[in-house]
Amino acid sequence: MVALLPGALIGGCAPYPPAPVAVVSAPRLKAGETWVYEQINPYNGEYVRTLTDELAQVDGGVEIVQRSSRPQDPVETQYGPGPWQLGLERVEPGGGAAFTPPLALVRFPLAPGRSWHQTITVRDARGARHVWSCVAHALDWERVATPAGSYPALRIVLQRSLGDADAVWNDTMEYEVLWYAPAVQRWVRRELRTERVERAYIPRVQRDWIVWELTAYHP
């Protein structure tokens, strides 16, 4: 079992506005919808890049094509049987992974207090296999200020053990927070922390922290 990381990661959110709805239903998506996110280095607040996520397909599954403002970054395509599930990730050229069953970043219907657990087999493009242990909790409504505006959003905390331990390192742990806003049918803010601890008497610790904020939504 993965322990939950309490508390907000960084600022930008005010607690407990009036809930816009009691229960959030699955969004009714249309091909061509686009979300634009600014990626930030939270350690120094500096801009990193802009990511544009375009909904390419809805019938038969949700397909998102992600393009970066940095020319050297690959195009990523994410496919899932429904919103917002990740079943297949392709990274050009020749990279990516398959998730069985699909990873549920958001599970509908969604409401404060709802939780879900998953055990997921992940195979990468080289054939390596890992088993992820995942737990998610929907907490409460917060008002989130982003460059695209201020939104009431339901905070979702997800944590994952990636099953990649070896002779030197323990499993990589991912701690993720999504703020899902019904007004844009997706998250308006996303934070991801990762941590991996060495199997040593005095261990080294590898950490990373990434933040994305919505800058535009084109329905």
Query: In this predicted model, what pLDDT tens digit does every residue of 63-118 receive, in sequence order?
Result: 999 999 999 999 999 999 999 999 999 998 889 999 999 999 999 999 999 999 99
pLDDT exceeds cutoff 60 at 148: yes
Taking CA 101 as the corner, what is the angle to CA 103 and CA 209, rounded to the nearest 5 degrees? 25
Over residues 110-143, the pLDDT tens digits come to 999 999 999 999 999 888 999 999 999 999 999 9
Residue ranges per structural domain of the chain: 26-218
pLDDT exceeds cutoff 50 at 201: yes
DSSP string, 130-156: EEEEEEEEEEEEEEEEETTEEEEEEEE
Confidence of residue 12 (pLDDT cuts 50, 70, 90): low
The share of the chain scoring above pLDDT 70, in percent, equals 93
Of the candidates 216, 163, 166, which has an alpha carbon nearest to the alpha carbon of residue 186? 216
Report, as an integer, the average pLDDT of 190-199.
97
Long-range contacts of 26-29 (CB under 8 A, 24+ apart): 26/82, 26/83, 26/108, 26/109, 27/83, 27/182, 27/185, 27/186, 28/185, 29/55, 29/58, 29/62, 29/83, 29/185
Taking CA 122 as the corner, what is the angle to CA 1 and CA 33, rounded to the nearest 5 degrees? 100
Confidence of residue 20 (pLDDT cuts 50, 70, 90): confident
Cα–Cα distance for residue pair 176/154, rounded to 1 Å: 14
pLDDT attached to residue 16: 66
Peptide bond into 93 cis (omega under 30): yes
Cα–Cα distance for residue pair 193/91, rounded to 1 Å: 21
Long-range contacts of 201-206 (CB under 8 A, 24+ apart): 206/169
Over residues 206-218, the pLDDT tens digits come to 999 999 999 999 9
pTM: 0.90
CATH number, domain 26-218, options 2.40.30, 1.25.10, 2.40.360, 2.60.40: 2.40.360
- The mean predicted confidence, pLDDT, of the chain is 92
Lowest mean pLDDT among 15-24, 28-37, 49-58, 64-73: 15-24
Of the candidates 175, 156, 211, which has an alpha carbon nearest to the alpha carbon of residue 3? 175
Tell how many helices (H) and how many strands (E) occur in the chain.
Answer: 0, 13
